[in-house]
Structure 1
Amino acid sequence: MNETWVIDGGSPGPVSSATVVEALRARADDSRFETWLTSSSGRSLALVTNTERAMVMLLEDEGDPGEHAVTPGAEGSSNGFVLSNGQDDEYPDADTVPVDEALRIVAHIVSTGSWPTDAPRVVDR
Structure 2
Amino acid sequence: MIESWAVDDGSAVQVVLGTLRTRIGEGQLETWLTSSSGRKLAFVTNSERAMVVLMDHQDDVGEHAVAPGAAGSSDGFVLSNGQDDAYPDVDTVPLEEAFRIIDHIVGRGAWPADAHWAVDR
| 1:80 partnered with 2:64 | no
Distance 2:8 2:23 in 1: 12
SS at match of 1:65: coil
Q: Give unmatched runs, 5+ long, in structure 1.
A: none
Counterparts of 1:35-54 in structure 2, within 5 Å, are 35-54=31-50
SS at match of 1:100: helix
Match of 2:110 among 96, 109, 114: 114
RMSD over aligned Cα atoms: 0.9
Task: State the TM-score, normalized to the length of structure 2.
Answer: 0.97
- Map Cα deviations across residues 67-101 of structure 1 (whole Å, 9 max, x no partner): 00000010100000000000000000000000000
Question: Residue 2 of structure 1: CA displacement?
Answer: 2.7
Task: Report the Cα offset of residue 63 of structure 1.
Answer: 1.3
Give the unaligned 5+ runs of structure 2: none
Sequence identity of aligned pairs in percent? 63
Moved over 2 A (4+): none
Would you say 1:2 and 2:2 are equivalent positions?
yes
1:56 CA displacement: 0.2
Deviation at 1:8, TM superposition (A): 1.3
- The separation in 1 between residues aligned to 2:115 and 2:72, in whole angstroms, is 20
Q: Distance in 2 between matches of 1:108 and 1:91?
A: 23
Count of residue correspondences:
121
Aligned equivalents of 1:77 and 1:71: distance in 2? 12
1:10 is displaced (CA, Å) by 5.9
SS at match of 1:37: strand
